[in-house]
Structure 1
Amino acid sequence: MDSEIEQQLASISSTPNQKERTSSYFTLLSTLLSSSPLSPNELVTFGRHFVTSTSMAMVVGRRVLGTYVLALSAGTSMIKSGTSSLTFDDEGSGDNDKFEQLGIQAFKSEKGEEARRDIVEGVLAGGNLSGWCEEQTTVLRHLYSHLLQLEEDWLEAAKALMQIPLEGTSRLISDEEKLAVYIKIVRLLLECGEWGQAQTYFSRASLLIHVTKDKETNLSYKLSQARLFDFSARFNEAAQRYHEVSFDGAIAEEDRLQMLKAAVTTSILAPAGPQRSRILATLNRDDRVHTSLLPSLSTMLKKMLLEYIVRQEEVKEFESGLEDHQRATVEGGGTVLERAVREHNVGACGKVYDNISFEALGNILNLDAENAENTARRMIEQGRLRAWIDQPLQLLYFESRSAHDTDAEAQGTAGGLGIENKEKDIEPRLWSERWDDRIRETSIKVETLAEQIQQKGLIPPITTA
């Protein structure tokens, strides 16, 4: 049957009169769309006849192929963003409604969407597409991506858009169209967890984001940025972006609450330190956190903010709501959440104790003494914990707690709730270097004292027998 269609197409293409040739192509296309049952293979053959031809008269080819694409797109919910340049001349405009209706009728059956996808896939398969029809094949790639999204095949939908030639092409492409394609690719890749590839296309979008004032595009950009921060474990930045997006009135209320939930979650997963404390305080002032989210999230947020010690059962309840990438293991063992809670509990101990042994700290963190020491040392070196280590005595001394603070005062004033604590800056050096300096200073003092004692003659000279 395909060979019969090929023969008809070859016969039509040899017609010398362009008007008659165009009319014959339209007649054949109408017949194929009206056939019952619909034959996807015949429509693929019809489409490939145009997209692979290097000798097609452009006036005829663009008009017929444009109508063919219109028929394939008819009845879909695809938003033809960036495809508005696909136009038809006045002479053929009267047939557009006819072929759009034929397209709707052809694919309205139960397996119509599957047939539509197979046809578009068949036309685009194999490559070797001619350059004269880039405009029409671009629309087909948008359509193919849309159909794959309906099947939730996010990766293949992204790959379909990646095939659209945006650079080094004869087609005039605006920066806004490029930006729209890049952002759509990023969002599709994030849906399937391919955040490494998504970062590549997001970088391209970042170079063009300044050209648009479209609110939806800017919102998609911010949301993509937040999710990329989330996937790459930059939780402080992710929380800020999620919280910012959660105030956008263009998003449905349910989606805004999802963004707020993501902001709270990522702020809790963020490494302990001043930056996270600021984010936690900002979120705690948002009434929606306490009225619209799960109580477990609100409780966890308050404990992190007030620097209370978090118990294991609370960690398990919070962990049940995490996404897969937020359960990733980290260097030193444990998950992202376990690391965040361990570091938080180290800081919380500083609000209760002047010093603590590594063994006791390990019991609180569910670690052995050596790993508890390593956790505290890493936080000190990164400037996220004001403390120093007495290694011979296996003790951790906290510097941020005033001598007159009580346990209640330490818990009540943590997180910057109305009381400003003036704390000295931590020297930007390794604590091992500071320890060496203290030993050197002590040795110098001992030598100085010994010299003064000898000068005053308080020690009799040593005589040999």
Structure 2
Amino acid sequence: MSRISSRLTVIQKQGLSEKIQSYKSLVSNIMDKPNAPELIETFKFIISTEASNVASAIVDTYINQMGVLNQDLQTTVGEEILTAIGKVSTSAFNTALFKLREYMMNIYNTQPGKESRIFDLLNANADIAQSGDLESQLRLYANLSLLYLQSQKVKDLKSYSPEDLKANDTFNKAVDLFQKAGMTFLQLQDQDNQTRQTTSKRKKDVKHELCDAIISELYGNFQQAADKYYEVSTVIISPVEADGYLKKAITSAILAQPSERRSRLISNLYKDERSGDEKKIDKKLAKVLEKIFLQQLVVEKEDNATLEQALDKRIVPHLKKAILKHNIVAISVLYDTISISQLGQLLSETSDETERTVAELISDGIIDGSISQLDDMILFKNQNAILSEWDANIAALCNGLNSTYEILLRDGIVSKEQVKARIQKDDNVNKKESVKEKQKEKEKENPNSRELIGSTSNLGISDAQKKGSKEGHSEKEKSNQDSKSSLPAQTQSQTKIQTKTQGKPDEKK
């Protein structure tokens, strides 16, 4: 019998409180001078022979202290403890078990290639859904799923085709765990609604969101992937990881199907200060993002080379189609009509592929237009959303006014004669205003015309004063005034001066 075995036998015969304290002291002494075989032997004995509440307390103490061991010892001892607990299958170990699982998850995250081992240990020994609280279950599901998604087996996929993904067991396990995490999250939301413990909407864990982004990207749902990658980039602590996920958000957004949702995300990414920082995002990639945001054509070889370099090689096949769709949408804003052959030539694409892509965009409601195969023409309708909305609002207002008018006539509140009279009155006012505006414009164009108006006005007053005594002379003055109105501006100005001079004796008289 070994030294440890004899000590364990002695401790087993002690009273409950003394026994727990003796086991804790023994574990602490072994950890001071780390010895993996002795620790493993101790925990196997305690878990298999002692009451579950005693064993759970000892395991919990070890978990709180295991950070003093090196990582290899932590891994070896932790795996043995998990295996031993799996053979017991009792709910008394729930708290300790979940603590150890999460601790082991952090260890395995730094040790590539351990995915299968950790899954066997954590999932085969005890069903996660049958033990622990929902919060712990959610974290474990998300951590396990992310571990699988970042594993070498998923990285070694030849392509992201549905066939290859379906045949990859590691990826399927990740998706299964992610779906369980989603169901657990919904349970937590229902729990919040029932207990009303929080007024704010529950948010998913960052690892849960990251799993969503990776799975969406592998399935080709680039819009969802872009949204999630961008969200993760704003909350993750590590600056290097945040910049990497921002880059993934940009490339996924470029690959996404044109839509209002994509446009909003592209706008947010373009306006994000980090996108303009060359230390964070490559300058060439930022330039392509700007073109996408401004709805400019992306046809240069350098732009496509930049995107291919930024993308995973297994996603590159999606790039050509995505750029073709973007360019067609950009052209639909600039052109009312264009021939299919001309559009294909402009985009360096065959006429058949161009026509097929345009038809797909029209069918999906992304662009508004039609194709005339007889004339080999594409007809685009107005794509300006702001102007379309404005026109729709004006039409709605006019329809509302017409409806109101009909109601007023029907109820006898107004008559057609009253309406016509009011319209005529408004027309007269508008005409007068229009004449005044034109007159002001003429005065601005020819400042001397104001002096002419002033001089003729003075002449008119003088004529009125003389009209009573010298009517014939008034007619002569009127004739002179008419002749002056036809003179050039300079001559009129001279005439004004002479008139003022001649008018002074009359004023004195």
User: Of 42, 45, 50, which aligns to 2:41?
Assistant: 45
Separation in 2, partners of 1:189, 1:289: 30
SS in structure 1 at match of 2:292: helix
SS in structure 2 at match of 1:203: helix
SS in structure 2 at match of 1:272: coil
After alignment, is 143-152 or 15-24 more displaced? 15-24
* Residue 289 (structure 1) aligned with residue 283 (structure 2): no
Separation in 2, partners of 1:220, 1:415: 39
* Residue 143 (structure 1) aligned with residue 103 (structure 2): yes
Deviation of 1:314 after TM superposition, in Å, equals: 0.7
SS in structure 2 at match of 1:207: helix
User: Of 182, 189, 197, which aligns to 1:203?
Assistant: 182
Separation in 2, partners of 1:24, 1:388: 84
Deviation of 1:214 after TM superposition, in Å, equals: 10
* Residue 236 (structure 1) aligned with residue 223 (structure 2): yes
1:280 matched residue in structure 2: 266
1:266 matched residue in structure 2: 252
Map 1:32-431 → 2, pairs under 5 A: 32-35=30-33, 38-51=34-47, 53=48, 55-58=49-52, 60-71=54-65, 73=66, 76=67, 104=68, 107=69, 112-125=70-83, 127-131=86-90, 132-153=92-113, 155-156=115-116, 159=119, 162=123, 165-169=127-131, 173-192=132-151, 194=171, 196-208=175-187, 210=189, 211=192, 221-222=208-209, 224-243=211-230, 251=237, 257-291=243-277, 293-311=281-299, 312-323=301-312, 327-328=314-315, 335-393=317-375, 395-400=376-381, 420-421=387-388
Evaluate the alpha carbon distance shift between residue 69 and residue 5 of structure 1 in structure 2; reply closer, same or farther with a 3 A threshold.
Answer: farther
Evaluate the alpha carbon distance shift between residue 68 and residue 154 of structure 1 in structure 2; reply closer, same or farther with a 3 A threshold.
Answer: closer
After alignment, is 157-166 or 112-121 more displaced? 157-166
Question: How does the TM-score come out when normalised to structure 1?
Answer: 0.63
Separation in 2, partners of 1:20, 1:251: 45
Evaluate the alpha carbon distance shift between residue 262 and residue 4 of structure 1 in structure 2; reply closer, same or farther with a 3 A threshold.
Answer: same
Evaluate the alpha carbon distance shift between residue 23 and residue 239 of structure 1 in structure 2; reply closer, same or farther with a 3 A threshold.
Answer: closer
Alignment check: 8 A CA contact 2:36 2:77 kept: yes
Deviation of 1:151 after TM superposition, in Å, equals: 2.1
Stretches of structure 2 that go unaligned for 5 or more consecutive residues are: 155-170, 193-197, 393-509
1:14-43 Cα distance to aligned partner (Å, 9 max, x none): 6365466556645654554355xx442332
Alignment check: 8 A CA contact 1:274 1:384 kept: no
Alignment check: 8 A CA contact 1:388 1:397 kept: yes
Percent identity, aligned pairs only, is 22
SS in structure 1 at match of 2:378: strand
Evaluate the alpha carbon distance shift between residue 214 and residue 188 of structure 1 in structure 2; reply closer, same or farther with a 3 A threshold.
Answer: farther
Separation in 1, partners of 2:5, 2:270: 72
Alignment check: 8 A CA contact 1:43 1:119 kept: yes
What is the CA RMSD across the aligned residues, in angstroms? Answer: 4.0
1:298-337 Cα distance to aligned partner (Å, 9 max, x none): 321232233322123311112211246xx437xxxxx222
SS in structure 1 at match of 2:96: helix
Deviation of 1:256 after TM superposition, in Å, equals: 5.0
Alignment check: 8 A CA contact 2:298 2:323 kept: yes
Alignment check: 8 A CA contact 2:129 2:137 kept: no
Deviation of 1:44 after TM superposition, in Å, equals: 1.5
